[in-house]
Amino acid sequence: MKPGRHERRSAEMEFGGTLGATCIPVFLPLTVLYLLSVCQSPGAIVVQWPPPLPPSTHLWHPWVPAIIGGWIALQVFLYLLPVGKISQGLVLRDGSRLKYPINGFQALCVTGLLLGLCLWLGMPLGNLFDLMLPLAVCATAVAYLLSLYLYMRSFWAPPHALALGGNTGNPLYDFFMGRELNPRIGSFDLKYFCELRPGLIGWVVLNLAMLMKEVELRGSPSLPLLLVNSFQLLYVTDALWNEEAVLTTMDIVHDGFGFMLAFGDLAWVPFTYSLQAVFLVGHPHTLSPLAALGIIILNGVGYYIFRKSNSQKNQFRRDPTHTSVAHLETIATATGKRLLVSGWWGFVRHPNYLGDILMALAWSLPCGISHIVPYFYVIYFTILLIHREDRDERQCRAKYGVAWDTYCRRVPYRIIPYLY
Ligand SMILES: NC(=O)C1=CN([C@@H]2O[C@H](COP(=O)(O)OP(=O)(O)OC[C@H]3O[C@@H](n4cnc5c(N)ncnc54)[C@H](OP(=O)(O)O)[C@@H]3O)[C@@H](O)[C@H]2O)C=CC1
Ligand SMILES: CC(C)=CCC[C@@H](C)[C@H]1CC=C2C3=C(CC[C@@]21C)[C@@]1(C)CC[C@H](O)C(C)(C)[C@@H]1CC3
């Protein structure tokens, strides 16, 4: 299909426009490799000269394509299993609604059982520590290939199936943002699958591998690594348990599926979100019971805010008359939808981001305060959420107009009360 007719040649490009879309796909994969190299180097110093660059032979291992291919194939198989319920997504521009399988939690459980079996059979899972760089290179290559496929196939998609934001006619920008909103092969939804399965479950498998490596090196798992593993497993389990809620996130509803999400889901999440665990293997840290308790409480408070606020909004959007939300104060909007102005969403405009940031901090603190690299996640994540909040704010203002302005006056702080 010829591109011209349906394209939105918009001036409001995101992520730095063409320049951002050209630099980010080069810069981010290099960042992943650099951070992993720093974490595995003895000094673990982020800014040093000469930088701890790995020799090119460390970037490739003949087993890695089979590991990544086998892993993705397993997750595809589990996604396709006819277990769990089928849920409908939001109404699309053509009035239709797509169906999605809700069986991510089952996929996590089966993966856990299979992993337990492999460990029992003596599989050296800890060896993944030495394969982190080639695994990240291979996952990035998969993300590039997938994004190219997604970009090319989007030219056969009908106009209503294209995302509004990734359809500018600028090839670099559209490749980065993603042209097609919900690319599918038959009923297999590529974006939904990638968002929650290979990368997110892969992240906790990598964490477990770091724990096994630590046991191999030092005889027993350390408290900091146990904490990091438990906190992040809770986060991933929560995401898969509440899988249906992902159907209303910005990524599924608004963003096209392009390099940003493909790389984010398949390479960025598993290989940068596991940096604390990688760091702890080579840089053991001792935690006092009191410090551990403080960190557990911080993670608990963050998780409580994150879960309660997300559940309150999801419940309200599903059924505003439900007893748990019916008493909350709301304001009407011209679209017919209402906005919560009391409860969690009357505290700050993004209480779920606040909880998420508190958890991110609790994941870094077990690594001590001697190095910055385990804090990469909390720093990056805060920037991501501030940027995301800004994008969401613009979308909500466009959707709800004066009602949104009223909400902002009623609830003046975005993420952190009295601060931001
Ligand atoms: N770990 C990670 O890497 C990441 C985690 N996250 C997490 O994902 C979760 C989802 O985040 P995200 O998708 O960005 O956005 P949110 O879940 O915050 O959803 C924003 C949407 O909620 C609705 N909304 C906003 N304010 C109100 C209100 N007062 N009353 C009712 N509805 C309201 C609007 O949609 P509408 O009105 O159309 O319903 C708005 O577009 C968060 O907990 C976030 O922390 C996000 C990104 C990365
Ligand atoms: C730097 C870069 C390439 C950024 C791409 C952003 C992605 C890494 C994130 C965009 C939104 C995400 C979400 C989650 C993971 C990170 C990405 C993909 C998420 C699946 C994590 C678990 C949460 O509970 C969640 C399900 C709410 C969340 C959804 C958004």
Q: What is the ipTM of this complex?
A: 0.96
Residue 250 has pLDDT above 90, yes or no: no
Residue 331 has pLDDT above 90, yes or no: yes
Residue 321 in domain:
yes
- Structure confidence at residue 13 (pLDDT): 83
- Please give the residue range of the domain that contains residue 370: 287-419
391 lines ligand 1 (CB under 6 A): no
* Domain count along the chain: 2
Average confidence (pLDDT) over 271-297: 96
Instruction: Using the atom order of ligand 1, give the atom closest to the CA of residue 339.
Output: 30
Lookup: tokens for 163: 């995302």
What's the distance, CA 229 to chain centroid?
Answer: 17
CA of 244 to the centre of ligand 1 (A): 14
397 lines ligand 1 (CB under 6 A): no
- Structure confidence at residue 9 (pLDDT): 46
Query: What are the pLDDT digits (tens) for 97-124?
Result: 999 999 999 999 999 999 999 999 999 9
- Tell whether 181 and 62 lie within a shared domain: yes
Q: Which ligand is nearest to the CA of 314?
A: 1
Nearest to 224 by CA among 367, 360, 362, 358: 367
Average confidence (pLDDT) over 298-316: 95
CA of 397 to the centre of ligand 1 (A): 14
Q: In this structure, which amino acid lies at residue 291?
A: A
Residue 310 in domain:
yes
- Tell whether 279 and 165 lie within a shared domain: yes
Helical axes 289-318 vs 351-364, angle rounded to 10°: 160
Q: What is the CA radius of gyration of the chain?
A: 22
Tell the residue nearest (CA) to atom 26 of ligand 2.
239
Q: How confident is the model at residue 248 (pLDDT cuts 50, 70, 90)?
A: confident
Nearest to 200 by CA among 264, 259, 275: 264
Residue 3 in domain:
no
Lookup: tokens for 79: 């996604």
- Tell whether 335 and 251 lie within a shared domain: no
CA dihedral sign of residues 286, 41, 200, 385: positive
Which element (helix H / strand E) includes 87?
strand 85-88
- Tell whether 46 and 188 lie within a shared domain: yes
- Tell whether 52 and 144 lie within a shared domain: yes
88 lines ligand 1 (CB under 6 A): no
Residue 96 in domain:
yes
- Tell whether 31 and 155 lie within a shared domain: yes
Query: What are the pLDDT digits (tens) for 285-305?
Result: 999 999 999 999 999 999 999
91 lines ligand 1 (CB under 6 A): no
How far is the CA of 24 from the CAs of 32, 171, 277, in angstroms?
Answer: 12, 15, 25
Instruction: Using the atom order of ligand 2, give the atom closest to the CA of residue 196.
Output: 20
Nearest to 134 by CA among 201, 55, 71, 196: 55
- Structure confidence at residue 418 (pLDDT): 85
Which of 241, 267, 286 finishes a domain?
A: 286
Lookup: tokens for 190: 């590529």
Residue 126 in domain:
yes
First-to-final CA distance of the chain: 46
- Tell whether 229 and 301 lie within a shared domain: no
249 lines ligand 1 (CB under 6 A): yes
Q: How confident is the model at residue 234 (pLDDT cuts 50, 70, 90)?
A: very high
Which among 387, 392, 407 is the best mutation to test ligand 1's pocket, defined by most ligand atoms within 8 Å of the CB? 392
Q: Are 346 and 338 in contact (CB under 8 A)?
A: no
- Tell whether 359 and 234 lie within a shared domain: no
- Tell whether 281 and 397 lie within a shared domain: no
Q: How confident is the model at residue 3 (pLDDT cuts 50, 70, 90)?
A: very low
Which among 384, 387, 392 is the best mutation to test ligand 2's pocket, defined by most ligand atoms within 8 Å of the CB? 384
Lookup: tokens for 160: 């209503």
- Tell whether 279 and 304 lie within a shared domain: no
Query: What are the pLDDT digits (tens) for 62-97?
Result: 999 999 999 999 999 999 999 999 999 888 888 889
